[in-house]
Amino acid sequence: MMYFHSRAEAGEQLARLLVEKYRYENVAIVALGDGSVAVAEPVAEQLHCVLTLLVSEEVEVPGEGQQFGAVSQTGQFTFSSELKEGEIGEYVNEYHGYLEEQKRQAFSKINRLVGDGGVLDRDLLQDHAIILISDGLRDTTILNVAMDFLKPVRVQKVIIASPIASVEVVDQVHLIADELHILDVKSNYIDTNHYYDQNDLPSHEETIAKINQNILNWR
């Protein structure tokens, strides 16, 4: 079983996996959350490519600890991959007003954090091979959010890379992406932080500021 000292160390291992194939390709990296930025930085450094961040907010079903889905910075809502179609229908009927309000609040929170334009500019991704990087994938919800976001973008291909992923993700991911690079697959995925000794991450605001600076350097 693989554990990592830090997300940066895991990112360096991923970079070694990706650099030979993608060093001279036209790639752009999209980090799928704050912790994922720390993994993605060493990869972007090795590949000399732009690093951006997809900002999303989860929406939970009240009182159940069950994720209902996530809102991206375009305001688009994507249902959790763990929910079956019948369950979605039941929840929507039972909690319709509540869930609509939660989605509105989530989108409003994203806008407060990143401004109306968001930090991820689709123009930067056009005609690139996109590497979606996560610090850990328990399910495919965030990948589905990213794929919904990328729908209007003309991309060469989509590559998913993560230090750790559950067996379920690995089973399903070929339906989503062209390639998958995972350092360790977990049959009993606990919690992403569990697999890292260090979990002292910068704040959301600091992460976004850093990403914006990175994007300015590429304009």
Position 219 scores a pLDDT of 60
Position 1 scores a pLDDT of 66
Residue 101 has pLDDT above 80, yes or no: yes
This prediction's pTM: 0.88
Q: How many residues does this entry show for the chain?
A: 219
> What confidence category does residue 15 fall into, taking pLDDT thresholds of 50, 70 and 90?
very high
Who contacts 135 (Cβ-Cβ below 8 Å, separation ≥6)? Answer: 7, 10, 33, 35, 36, 38, 39, 162, 163, 164, 192, 196
Q: How far apart are the first and last CA of the chain?
A: 41
Q: Nearest to residue 120, comparing CAs of 137, 139, 138, 145?
A: 145
Residue 21 has pLDDT above 60, yes or no: yes
Q: What is the dihedral of CA 211, 192, 136, 84, to 10 degrees?
A: -110
Domain 7-55+119-218 is in which class? Answer: alpha beta
DSSP sequence for 78-93: EE-TTS-HHHHHHHHH
Q: What's the rounded Cα separation, in Å, for the pair 151 and 155?
A: 9
Strand positions, DSSP E, the chain: 27-31, 50-53, 56-61, 66-72, 77-79, 129-133, 157-166, 179-186
Structure confidence by residue, pLDDT tens digits, 23-78: 989 999 999 999 999 999 999 999 999 898 998 888 888 877 788 899 988 888 99
Q: Nearest to residue 49, comparing CAs of 57, 41, 39, 60?
A: 41
Q: What's the rounded Cα separation, in Å, for the pair 38 and 43?
A: 10
**Residue 167 or 83, more confident:** 167
Position 42 scores a pLDDT of 94
Amino acid at 165: A
Residue 202 has pLDDT above 90, yes or no: no
Domain ranges of the chain: 7-55+119-218, 57-114
Residue 195 has pLDDT above 90, yes or no: yes
Structure confidence by residue, pLDDT tens digits, 106-161: 888 888 877 655 566 788 899 999 999 999 999 999 999 999 999 999 999 999 99
Q: How many CA atoms lie within 13 A of 123 on its CB side?
A: 5
